[in-house]
Chain A
Amino acid sequence: MKETLSKFKFWYQKAGELGAQYYNAPYRAAIARAKREEDDMFMLLVFSEMMGVPNPASWYCLELQPLLLDRFHQWHQRMGMEHSPLDNFRCC
């Protein structure tokens, strides 16, 4: 009985592995690529921060400033600062 059960477990596990492969195989590349791009972006940010290399992302962040303004304002108030702590980023 025990042997049958372990056999069944083995086959169930095997079928599960093949099923997962069947599910993933056609799209593995697209999903892995998307994940790799995210990792690359993260690596770039962390690495440039660590080495003091001017971060290319800050250029693009400038464009986001108007969009972030509201959220920034709420953030510094939550943090107990009445006004923006940054000289070059005044919101109120």
Chain B
Amino acid sequence: MSAIVLLVLGLGGMALGYFFYSRFIANHIYKLDENFKTPAHEMEDGVDFVPTNKFVLWGHHFTSVAGAAPIVGPAIAVIWGWLPAFLWVTVGTIFFAGVHDFGAIWASIRNRAKSVGALTGEVVGKRARAVFMIVIFLVLLMVNAVFGVVIAKLLINNPGAVVPVWGAVAVALVIGQLIYRFKFSLGWVSLIGIIVLYALIYVGPSMPITLPASTLGLSASASWILLLFLYAAIASLLPVWMLLQPRDYINGLQLFVGLILLYAAVLIANPSVVAPMINMNVPANTPSMVPLLFVTIACGAISGFHGLVASGTTSKQLNKETDARFVGYFGAVGEGALALAAIIAATAGFASLADWQAVYSAFGKGGVLAFVDGGAAILHAGTGIDAAVASTMLTVMAALFAGTTMDTGLRLQRYIFQEWGEIYNIKWMGKALPATLLAVGSCLVLAFGAGGADGSGGLLIWPLFGTTNQLLAGLTLLVITVMLVRRKSPTIYTLAPLVFLLVMTLAALLLQLKGFYDQQKWFLLGLDVVVLVAAILVTLECAAALKAEKRKAAEAE
């Protein structure tokens, strides 16, 4: 089958979702009001609360939520065939992610732009808030550990990408200095930055760098992971204008260029999807598609992390309440489009079914490497870019995404430690450096504790990341649903995704629990139990909060 059909159906479906379904939700469920004074206006302070142009805010929201996850998840999940992944990404984006992200912004602006965590405490209860803090911490921990492994894998598999990936850090540092110290115009700086970045991508393959197979008894993968965490720790301590801000910016520009190129290449080359529609012949030890599909693809279908961004920063900058539809729902569509590109690359970028099966020889084997290899083949066929350069380009795209998410994730984790330091009056923990060391330390414990000397623990826990992330999405949907009950709006549009998510998450956790026990992976078993307990608590809180709200509503009548 032609990949163009997938592209047209997927993007067409999401476009219809945006034009019709999101309008219905905006008008009849959230009942957006153009005259509602948003917190950006009501509490405008020039720092956190600033009314922002909706296109700019969309760009900010989209690049903040788009990490490596919408690439990694779908590229692993196509092992069950292209159809399930395709359906979950399109249906998930239209009916789950769009409603969730859009709803998170709406719920937050209706409550003085509070974050979902604070909202859960107020709307649902204190217990739910405590669970929320634990779930957020676990999500950040897993994101950092997972992405460390993903980047290390990419750099080992494509040594030509080492120069551009680390070169991008230097480019960002120079851009930051040029803009803030030397007051250069942003337009020229961006243009030169992008040209230098792509020049590095072009020369990268001719200057491959590989680490020795063993350094001080550490494998190349373990050495890269340690180096990456060292970098992330330094990056998270530097002032944001020096590295994080210009890095995210250049990265965002590269995302737009990369996505446009990839989609254009699909349209020109018209590759065929070689992967089976539904893979009946999955490799041994591949877990059952239901429920694992729904937690393997988290970002790209629905992701709790989006709720954190939506209520954390986006809601404080929303100019008009009606902009929430464009920023939130269309932001989810952008992420869905990235996930769709990952599915096409990982299923249509191979010459034959045998080639595809050779890559997908075991669960978790395909992943981001399949995206890079498949996507590079499509790019080469469609645009004529040299295969090695195309492969480096996609590697850099995935690695930079994972890298910026790691920088931010580590910074956020550090804040959580500092906050705990203040709450429990542990003075040394409130300081930046020890808190950063604790954050890095906990990630390393996870990477090396679960993965052994190789440091690959991050990838083993990928499905656990999915479940934890879905729990977070569940909590956000719960807050929205409770608010809808209070406003006497129909709740089915948020309640149905909530119930579906909780059922799939609990089933996946139980299934994994058995798997970890059978394989005697005690570390993962412990982590699974923590997530499971959190999931059960969330479910109970959901039931109790909704029951209480419904009773109150009935009494009021």
Taken together as a complex, chains A and B put the C-alpha atoms of A58 and B492 apart, in Å, by 63
Q: In chain A, what residue has the closest Cβ to B309?
A: A26
| In the complex with contacts A27-B241, A31-B240, A22-B47 CB distance below 8 A | no
Q: Contact string, A9-31, partner B, CB cutoff 8 A, digits 1/0?
A: 00010011011111111111111
Chain B residues near A31 (CB, 8 Å)?
240-241, 245
Cross-chain contact of B240 among A15, A25, A30, A36 (Cβ < 8 A): A30
Contacting pair B317 A25 (CB below 8 A): yes
Chain A residues near B240 (CB, 8 Å)?
27, 30-31
Q: How many residues of A contact B (CB 8 A)?
A: 21
B318 to chain A minimum Cβ distance, whole angstroms, is 12
Cross-chain contact of A32 among B47, B53, B313 (Cβ < 8 A): B47
Contact of A83 with B by CB under 8 A: no
Contact of A76 with B by CB under 8 A: no
The residues in B between 235 and 253 inclusive whose CB is less than 8 angstroms from any CB of A are 239-241, 244-245, 248-249, 252
| In the complex with contacts A27-B244, A29-B313, A31-B240, A22-B50 CB distance below 8 A | no
Contacting pair B252 A22 (CB below 8 A): yes
Cross-chain contact of A28 among B47, B186, B239, B244 (Cβ < 8 A): B47
- The bracket for how many chain B residues form the interface is 20 to 34
B39 to chain A minimum Cβ distance, whole angstroms, is 13
Contact of A34 with B by CB under 8 A: yes
Cross-chain contact of A26 among B46, B53, B64, B187 (Cβ < 8 A): B64
Among B55-63, B285-293, B477-485, the stretch that binds chain A is: B55-63
B50 to chain A minimum Cβ distance, whole angstroms, is 6
B355 to chain A minimum Cβ distance, whole angstroms, is 40
B303 to chain A minimum Cβ distance, whole angstroms, is 18
B49 to chain A minimum Cβ distance, whole angstroms, is 9
Taken together as a complex, chains A and B put the C-alpha atoms of A24 and B53 apart, in Å, by 12
A31 to chain B minimum Cβ distance, whole angstroms, is 6
B65 to chain A minimum Cβ distance, whole angstroms, is 12
Chain B residues near A33 (CB, 8 Å)?
47
Taken together as a complex, chains A and B put the C-alpha atoms of A19 and B175 apart, in Å, by 14
Chain B residues near A25 (CB, 8 Å)?
52, 56-57, 59-60, 317
Taken together as a complex, chains A and B put the C-alpha atoms of A29 and B50 apart, in Å, by 9
Q: In chain A, what residue has the closest Cβ to B250?
A: A23
Taken together as a complex, chains A and B put the C-alpha atoms of A83 and B185 apart, in Å, by 49
Q: Which 4 A-B pairs have the closest CB atoms?
A: A32-B47, A27-B245, A21-B56, A25-B60
Q: A16-B186, A18-B55, A22-B60 are in contact. List 12 more A-B contacts (CB 8 A).
A: A16-B185, A18-B56, A19-B190, A22-B59, A22-B249, A25-B60, A26-B60, A26-B64, A26-B248, A29-B48, A30-B240, A31-B240
6 A–B contacts, CB within 8 A, in A order: A18-B56, A25-B60, A26-B64, A27-B241, A29-B47, A31-B241
